[in-house]
Structure 1
Amino acid sequence: MTDLHVPEGATWAQLSPRLRRILLEAPDEAVVVATSGSSGDPKRVRLTGAALRASGEATADLLGGHGRWLLALPTHHVAGLQVLARSVLAGTVPVALSPGMPFTAAAFAAALGQLVQEGDGPRYASLVPTQLHRLLADEEGTRAAATLDAILLGGAAADPGLLTRARDAGVRVVTTYGMSETCGGCVYDGRPLAGLRVRLDDERVLLSGPMLADGYVQADGRRDVGRTGERFAEIAGARWFRTDDRGEVDADGRLRILGRVDDVIITGGHKVEPREVEAALRALSLVDDAVVLGVPDAEWGQAVAALVVPAAARDLPEGTDAWRERLRRALPPHALPDHALPRRVVVRDGIPLLPSGKPDLQHIRGLLSRSLI
């Protein structure tokens, strides 16, 4: 039987019969999903039933058992697909927010109410940071989120301030790290799932375990030997996936992601970590969210550039020159060295996102490159 290629907008009713076969009866058969394309280079990833099952069972063990799932992410990307796969393994039916409709706290609360009515047991959801942020900004959404046994949060780096707000509101958030090539999240709160191994190659994160993808396929379904060989390799008798991420492992064995291999900004000979600048900006009361990237600059080589979402909509009309100065004045002394302060700023009412919920870095980079300050 041919692999199951998941089309955009696919539903539980459309996918569940094949998923049951792949997960429960034919572990060598596979599902093909597209990567998010956040770096501008989407790929087709082949996930066998055995890999999906290993991931789902390890997740259930960590969370405290199989349960009922709320589907708030697109099924043609791995995080949404995993909600369906985990539901198959649990013998439950997920409740989905209306596909194609904007994510709102009211819609989330209504779907969760339906999930509660359909049975007992643990209740879970997978979200991206933007969705959690919207829930915590709304009283009804916050109350609903707090009734879940766990929210798996992935797709982008989680802001520490957001996690603190969730914890203070009684919402259990489990941060996840992973990608399509690892059947989604495979490191939870810094701890690898059962069976996953982590190693570092000059800070680059390498992953090995039963939840690894079979590799990449072409549009016609044939194996993409070239791309697969670039990323998957045998090392010391085990199969490893070479990520695009930099990381470190602390004394307690927790993996901390530092950023992408190619996202360190070299400006005027200084190295700048975008995540550190983003964290400093998000800590300001006038900033709701921020994405920081390096963009080409004739004088500095690269310039630190920030797309900023203001905390108050009334601040949107203010010019970017004024916003740069407001940010510089608002940052506490020594919060950032001078070379790390944003030299270019774009102000928007929201972070441009891909369908997967990840920031659309290609689009953001274009906005920042065109905004010279």
Structure 2
Amino acid sequence: MEVEPLPVPAGPGALAVLPRLAGALAGRGPVAPYPADAAAPQLPRHAAAGLPDDLAVVVGTSGSTGVPKLAMLGAAALAASAHATHERLGGPGQWLLTLPAGHVAGVQVLLRGLDADTEPVATDLTGGFTPAAFAAATARLDPRHRHYTALVPTQLVRLLDDRAGAAALATFHGVLVGGAATPPTLRRRAEAAGVAVRTTYGMSETAGGCVYDGSPLTGARVRLDDDGRVHLGGATLAHGYLGRPDLTFAAFTVDADGSRWFRTDDAAHLGDDGRLHVDGRLDDVVVTGGMKVAPRLVEEAALEHVPGVREAVVVGIPDPEWGQAVSLLVVPDPAAQPLSLAEVRDLLRPHLPDHALPRRVTAAPAVPLRGPGKPDRAAVAGLFDVA
């Protein structure tokens, strides 16, 4: 048994791979989906006898902590993910694909369609993602079914900014938003527009989102260690990494009772409501003056309390006095008045401790991205003048 690279076109052409995905789930050989306009993945050698018996899909990780890895997802894990998603959303339905199907979030839209026995509809991405294309694709959904879609936060912002896009979005029975943090202000805005938002948390190693609105899906498990690091387990877990038993051993653990866990690089806490609140990646934490600052807390405060800010990303920039300086990138509304660093700090001072207040602020027309919807923090750092 060998893993077959599977090029997946963007837009409606992605639906052509549905029969091959169905075959992979049925045991007719695993596939490794990748964007058709990209180079085929270099699949490492892995002894056929050592591959998991039910291996169906191999998906690349985002590579945010180094070389991208290839997560091995079994048919049982993918089925558990699809079943649990439909259960949480209120039943099977028809899905609208808006994301590249070479990544786990897009592949999962296709796989959920197979689980529900409904053919997905794909948004035309010829000119990139646009509200007009989204609205046109929404109109092609079968009215006999419940309707679902999955977005990244940037797409949600664009749709809410467009009258036709927002109207189309409000017709869905469930809208999954993931790939990056969804600011509370954005969620409230979507809910006010009548959008049935569900924020998701997960990764390739968990067959995509396995925690919705802070609550694990049926079959998924969450625990935090003493440092607040998130560990994920349960039925949707990957078998490990293709051709990299060393990385599998480092990231996946087994309890005495046989329970398997994936050790994430994220920190989180449980709120008073018992729900999981992800604070961000452990390696994104800014250490300034010996104090730790979680970027997400500053980003959410900027979105909430600085007028005219549409998107915000915080990074740590090397600083001779503080070690790292809390540095805030904002994407402003076109009509917003520019604000000085002193004005931004004054607006945030009632809401953040002094050590978390930005020491640098810059603006850009868009946030640099890495993968579907994820901020490229290295590229963001490069936007600051550190001379």
TM-score, scaled to structure 1: 0.90
Shift of 1:244: 0.5
CA distance in 2, matches of 1:285, 1:251: 29
- 1:213 matches 2:233: no
Matching of residues 332-351 of structure 1 within 5 Å: 333-351=349-367
Structure 2 unaligned residues grouped into runs of 5+: 29-52
**SS of the residue 1:15 aligns to:** helix
CA offset digits 1:193-227 (Å, max 9, x no partner): 1111111112111111111111112xxxxx21111
Matching of residues 243-262 of structure 1 within 5 Å: 243-262=264-283
Shift of 1:24: 4.2
**SS of the residue 2:342 aligns to:** helix
Moved more, 4-13 or 331-340: 4-13
Shift of 1:168: 0.8
Matching of residues 106-255 of structure 1 within 5 Å: 106-115=132-141, 118-202=142-226, 203-217=228-242, 223-236=243-256, 237-255=258-276
Shift of 1:332: 5.0
Q: 1:209 to 1:8 in 2, by over 3 A?
A: same
Structure 2 counterpart of 1:288: 310
CA distance in 2, matches of 1:82, 1:344: 39
Match of residue 25, structure 2, among 9, 23, 26: 23
Aligned length: 358
CA distance in 2, matches of 1:113, 1:126: 16
Structure 1 counterpart of 2:375: 359
- 1:45 matches 2:71: yes
CA distance in 2, matches of 1:54, 1:173: 22
RMSD between superposed Cα atoms in Å: 2.0
- 1:372 matches 2:386: yes
Shift of 1:243: 0.4
Alignment-mate amino acid for residue 309 of structure 2 = V
Alignment-mate amino acid for residue 227 of structure 1 = L
**SS of the residue 1:7 aligns to:** strand
Structure 1 counterpart of 2:46: none
Structure 2 counterpart of 1:5: 5
**SS of the residue 1:309 aligns to:** strand
Q: 1:210 to 1:357 in 2, by over 3 A?
A: same
**SS of the residue 1:55 aligns to:** helix
**SS of the residue 2:284 aligns to:** coil
User: In percent, how many aligned pairs have the same letter?
Assistant: 52
CA distance in 1, matches of 2:68, 2:362: 26
Structure 2 counterpart of 1:220: none
- 1:328 matches 2:345: yes
Structure 1 unaligned residues grouped into runs of 5+: 218-222
Match of residue 309, structure 1, among 331, 334, 342: 331
CA distance in 2, matches of 1:40, 1:352: 18
Alignment-mate amino acid for residue 48 of structure 1 = G
**SS of the residue 2:7 aligns to:** coil
Alignment-mate amino acid for residue 200 of structure 2 = T
Shift of 1:19: 1.3
Q: 1:7 to 1:162 in 2, by over 3 A?
A: same
Q: 1:167 to 1:119 in 2, by over 3 A?
A: closer
Q: 1:355 to 1:333 in 2, by over 3 A?
A: closer
**SS of the residue 1:367 aligns to:** coil
Shift of 1:286: 2.2
Shift of 1:252: 3.8
**SS of the residue 1:230 aligns to:** helix
CA distance in 1, matches of 2:288, 2:300: 19
Moved more, 177-186 or 263-272: 263-272
Q: 1:76 to 1:108 in 2, by over 3 A?
A: same
Shift of 1:342: 1.4
> Any conservation in 2 of the 1:152–1:175 contact (CA below 8 Å)?
yes
Alignment-mate amino acid for residue 107 of structure 2 = L
Alignment-mate amino acid for residue 41 of structure 1 = V
Shift of 1:25: 5.1
- 1:86 matches 2:103: no
Alignment-mate amino acid for residue 12 of structure 1 = A
Name which structure has the greater RCO, CA cutoff 8 Å, separation 6+. 1
> Any conservation in 1 of the 2:93–2:147 contact (CA below 8 Å)?
yes
CA distance in 2, matches of 1:267, 1:18: 51
Shift of 1:313: 5.5
Shift of 1:270: 2.0
CA offset digits 1:243-272 (Å, max 9, x no partner): 011112235431111111122211112222
Shift of 1:37: 2.8
Q: 1:13 to 1:134 in 2, by over 3 A?
A: closer
